[in-house]
Amino acid sequence: EVQLVESGGGLVQPGGSLRLSCTASGLAFRNYWMHWVRQDSGKGLVWVSRINSGGTLTTYADSVKGRFTVSRDNARSTLYLQMNSLRGEDTAVYYCVVGVTAPSGGYWGQGTLVTVSS
Amino acid sequence: DVVLTQSPLSLPVTLGQPASISCRSSQSLVHSDGNTFLNWFHQRPGQSPRRLIYTISNRDSGVPDRFSGSGSGTDFTLKISRVEAEDVGVYYCMQATHWPHTFGGGTKVEIK
């Protein structure tokens, strides 16, 4: 059974930082692109970032470029999202998603809530 | 960014009756490799989204065959042949052909 477990969310003040983690099991993590998607209270889903299987290619939404950094540790089957200079509009549930276009992928984690507020 | 427009926003359905959701893209979703990366997801209240369909019409493992996807280019459809109680929730189309990947605004399916 594929499982993706996110952690690291919480309450942080504007301008602060958080590091999210997503640990995968039940699949060959090193073979898949990995993604971060967030969902705000208005329920809209927004792609945040993606990283290729080897960790050599990363892409970001304009809204987080320069502030967020995605990385992965294939030996630990873990995906990371370092979030700096956080803003109120970053408040959302953050999901990791594996292999969004892969026939054997498409799985989502349970999500971790990030709240940016003073 | 590619805009995906779903309709209807809300879809009240009688159990056992069919349902259909439309997803229209602001530009073609045909990738340079020939694939069309249009997926459908279902999100039940309080749960994470679950992928149902990938590349227009391929059902994910464990997805009932009452779900089907079709379409091409910029127009796509998700159909449920006979709605069951467990099908309630919000359905999203999503494109992964262009970056940033984008989602439709969602269609809320509820039982009449």
Query: pLDDT per residue over A17-55, tens digit each?
Result: 999 999 999 999 999 999 999 999 877 899 999 999 999
CB pair distance less than 8 Å for B99 and A59: yes
Q: Looking at the partner chain, which of B37, B39, B106 has a beta carbon nearest the beta carbon of A43?
A: B106
- Over the stretch B26-79, which tens digit does the pLDDT of each residue have? 999 999 999 999 999 999 999 999 999 999 999 999 999 999 999 999 999 999
Whether the CB-CB separation of A32 and A102 falls below 8 Å is answered with yes
Question: Is the CB of A44 inside 8 Å of chain B's CB atoms?
Answer: yes
Q: What is the pLDDT of residue A41?
A: 84
Q: What pLDDT, on the 0 to 100 scale, is given for residue A29? A: 96
Residue in B with minimal Cα distance to A49: B100
Q: What angle do CA A76, A47, B97 make, to 5 degrees?
A: 100
CA atoms of A68 and A52, how far apart (whole Å) = 16
Chain B: nearest CA to A15, how far in angstroms?
25
Q: Give residue B22's identity as a one-letter amino acid code.
A: S
CB pairs under 8 A between A and B: 51
Q: Return all residues near A75 (Cβ < 8 A) that are at least 6 apart.
A: none
